[in-house]
């Protein structure tokens, strides 16, 4: 998921995508532990997607806080 796609999502959609990403990461780790994971690079991709989502959520919180203080 690209950063431009993430910026186009609503706050609720961001939360849903974050929850889905964390669930997928859990499942990938579980598959790796049981030696069923074929594409180990997928873990890195999912981690980066989660980080992008968290960054966008935090940026929106900061902008709201900045607007409220002015």
CA dist 21 and 45 (Å) reads 10
- pLDDT, residue 35, reads 94
Yes or no: is domain 3-69 CATH 1.10.287.310?
Answer: yes
Structure confidence at residue 69 (pLDDT)? 83
| Confidence at 53, pLDDT banded by 50, 70, 90 | very high
Is a pLDDT exceeding 90 seen at residue 12? Answer: yes
Q: Is residue 1 over pLDDT 90? A: no
Q: What pLDDT does 42 receive?
A: 97
pTM, to two decimals: 0.90
pLDDT at 57: 96
- Given CA atoms 41, 20, 50, 14 in this order, what sign does their dihedral have? positive
């Amino acid at each position: 998921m690209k950063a431009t796609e993430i910026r186009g999502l609503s706050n609720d959609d961001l939360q849903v995508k974050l929850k889905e990403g964390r669930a997928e990461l859990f499942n990938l780790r579980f598959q790796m532990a049981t030696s069923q994971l074929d594409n180990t690079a997928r873990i890195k991709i999912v981690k980066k997607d989660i980080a992008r989502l968290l960054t966008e959520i935090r940026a929106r919180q900061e902008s709201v806080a900045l607007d409220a203080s002015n």
